[in-house]
Amino acid sequence: MSTTTEERSRQSESPMSDPEFRETLRELPPSAKLVAKVLEGASPMSQGQLAEKSLLPDRTVRYALNRLEEEDLVDSRYSFNDARKQVYFLIN
């Protein structure tokens, strides 16, 4: 299975490849690690989308996002599609 040049460059830009990011993430609960991994694959995502993709309950996703935000690993902004919703993304 080969990866294209675009896929390799996107992977190298991922915050998950940063040793400091990974070390901080290592200290967080499993739910936060899973949410970060889901965000790595497709972001930005709303809390509801994260719950759907991760198969975690909404409350657990909210807790995981709070922990990730406390550690400055995740940030949020208002959705361009629906300004009532926040979307989350990993911080590079």
**Matching residue, tokens 């993709």:** 53
- Candidates 3.20.20.60, 1.10.10.10, 3.40.50.300, 1.10.101.10; CATH matching 5-90: 1.10.10.10
**Buried b or exposed e, range 19-29, using 16+ CB within 10 angstroms:** eebeeebeebe
The model's pTM? 0.80
Environment class of residue 65 by beta-carbon count within 10 Å: exposed (0-12), middle (13-18) or buried (19+)?
buried
- The token pair that represents 71 in the structure block: 């550690």
19 pLDDT tier (thresholds 50, 70, 90): confident
Whole-number pLDDT of residue 4: 44
Of the ranges 7-11, 33-37, 39-43, 79-83, the best mean pLDDT one:
33-37
CA distance 24 to 4: 30
Residue 1: its pLDDT value, please? 43
Which pLDDT value is given to residue 66?
Answer: 96
